[in-house]
Amino acid sequence: MSVDVHVDWGLTPDCPERGRVVSISNGGCFIRTEAVVTPGARVFVNLWLPTGLRAGEVRRRVESVGLGVEFKGDTP
């Protein structure tokens, strides 16, 4: 589903990075950010939903555009 939502995310649960989720599904999301994160890295995404903080894995990085994140489990 296409969306346009500000999101806090990061390599740690405190989610120090900022970005925009532009696509989301039950299985993951795409975060628009210029941050450089290697595919396979574990990331945390604070979606401001009842489920709150989600842990995931970067599946792809599009240079200067963003990150494709696959959610892994319900909680960090």
Distances (CA, A) of 20 to 7, 13, 31: 5, 17, 5
**How much is the pLDDT for 74?**
58
Q: Which domains does the chain have, with CATH numbers?
A: 2-71 (2.40.10.220)
Rounded CA gap, 24 and 69, in Å?
A: 9
Confidence of residue 64 (pLDDT cuts 50, 70, 90): very high
Rounded to two decimals, what is the model's pTM?
0.88
pLDDT(31) > 90: yes
Percent of residues, the chain, with pLDDT higher than 90: 80
Bridge-partner residues for 21, per DSSP?
5, 31
DSSP 2-53: EEEEEEEEESSTT--EEEEEEEEETTEEEEE------TT-EEEEE--STT-E
**How much is the pLDDT for 72?**
87
Whether the CB-CB separation of 59 and 28 falls below 8 Å is answered with yes
